[in-house]
Structure 1
Amino acid sequence: QYVLTYFVAADTGAAGRRVKLVTPVGTSLNEVKVPEATCAGKVCDAGAYCAGSVCAKPRAAGGRGILGWILIVGGILVGVIVLLGVVGFLMTKRQQAQVPLDPDAIIAAAEQKMKSKPPKAVTIQPFAKPASVPPQGVVQVVAPVVSGPRLYIASGPREGEQIALKHGFMIGKQPGCDLVFDDGFTSSQHAQIAMDHFGNCRLYDRGSTNGTFVNGQRVTEYVLEHGMSVRIGSTELRFLAQ
């Protein structure tokens, strides 16, 4: 159905009248049509376009493709590497925090501090007098009175002896140690006792084979308190702070 609109002159007087309109034969429409795509004279299907001399259709959206997968896998690998780096860093920091202090460094620092202080007067305790006169011909050995921190030997051939401690006191089977035990279970330089600036006696295991024990527990470093038991090799010791 078509609607035709005619415009007549104002003086025609067509108002309220019937007007007969005659159109010439061969009337054409002015409707605009979009021509169909053709390639080399061939009409392309709907939705296709002409690429050169071939009808082509737009490619439907597909998967990510090789490049997309490469980017995804690469991102995952980078994330794993970063995560491993963070975990390794945290483990390294934790191990560094658990590493015991170097006894040699502590001993050297304490010696330096002791050298900077003026020497104090030392009072030598006299030998204790025997409680009773021994029988004639019997020689009685009287041990000197030991004061300050010391080790009491509770087992072995030297049981009952008390050894005064000093800064850097070395225990082992090597000649030259301050306390020598050659029982087959003691290392050459088994353990060492250092005195810190607070006056505490700190026991260090020097990498011994059979270990150093305080109150039955194996230790690498321990601050000794009065009455604690110490085992070096097969010898039991007792720490006396006074």
Structure 2
Amino acid sequence: MSGDTELLVLRLGLLAIIFAFVLAASLGMLTGLRREAPRASTAPGRSTTGPRLVVEGVARTGMRPGDVFALAGEMTIGRDPSSGILLADPSVSGHHATIQRTTGGWKLTDAGSTNGTFVNGQAIDRRGVLLREGELIAFGAVSLRLHV
């Protein structure tokens, strides 16, 4: 083999190794993303005790009617993965609302969401509203019922 041919073979070999590395890294990242589950605090469950929001109606989410989000302290509600209650629906804003325990019960406050937050069909604002047992809350196209 001549010097030019050897150099060409080495270059093609290096190119093949780089291509294989990039392909393996890309596939590894995609597989890791598919396996990543929501954090326990954000994922709906089926618990029937304690203060909770129960899914009533959903649009384009993986949630089902009857799924439960346990309530504790102060929680953000939204589409952002950092939300305490994660509602992965396009009609829900990243940081849609907050719900917090007060001496008088649970207070719900809209966080300036695009599609609004509604309690029993009535829009609420940044001042918030004190919730009562059984009230229906809508965040975009997702509706949840409060049970305390």
User: Does TM, scored on the shorter chain, surpass 0.5?
Assistant: yes
8 Å contact from structure 2 (residues 78, 93) kept in 1? yes
8 Å contact from structure 2 (residues 115, 140) kept in 1? yes
What corresponds to 1:148 in structure 2?
A: 50
Q: Distance in 1 between matches of 2:81 and 2:120?
A: 27
User: Identity over the aligned pairs, expressed in percent?
Assistant: 34
Which of 190, 194, 197 pairs up with 2:96?
A: 190
Q: Which amino acid aligns with 1:239?
A: L
Which runs of no fewer than 5 residues in structure 2 stay unpaired?
1-44
Change (3 A) 1:148 1:217: same
Change (3 A) 1:234 1:144: closer
- Structure 1 segments of 4 or more deviating over 6 A? none
Q: How does 1:1-242 map to 2 (within 5 A)?
A: 145-156=47-58, 157-158=62-63, 159-198=65-104, 200-220=105-125, 221-241=128-148
Q: Distance in 2 between matches of 1:145 and 1:195?
A: 19
8 Å contact from structure 2 (residues 53, 71) kept in 1? yes
- In the superposition, the TM-score normalised over structure 2's length comes to 0.62
Q: Secondary structure at the match of 1:223?
A: strand
Q: Distance in 1 between matches of 2:107 and 2:76?
A: 12
Report how many residues are paired.
98
Deviation at 1:144, TM superposition (A): 5.9
8 Å contact from structure 2 (residues 46, 67) kept in 1? no
Alpha-carbon displacement from aligned partner over 1:121-171 (angstroms, at most 9, x marks no partner)? xxxxxxxxxxxxxxxxxxxxxx66442211000122312111110111111
Alpha-carbon displacement from aligned partner over 1:75-104 (angstroms, at most 9, x marks no partner)? xxxxxxxxxxxxxxxxxxxxxxxxxxxxxx
8 Å contact from structure 1 (residues 146, 164) kept in 2? no
Of structures 1 and 2, the one with the larger relative CO (CA 8 A, separation 6+) is 2
* Structure holding more strand per residue: 2
Deviation at 1:228, TM superposition (A): 0.4
Change (3 A) 1:214 1:144: closer
Which runs of no fewer than 5 residues in structure 1 stay unpaired?
1-142
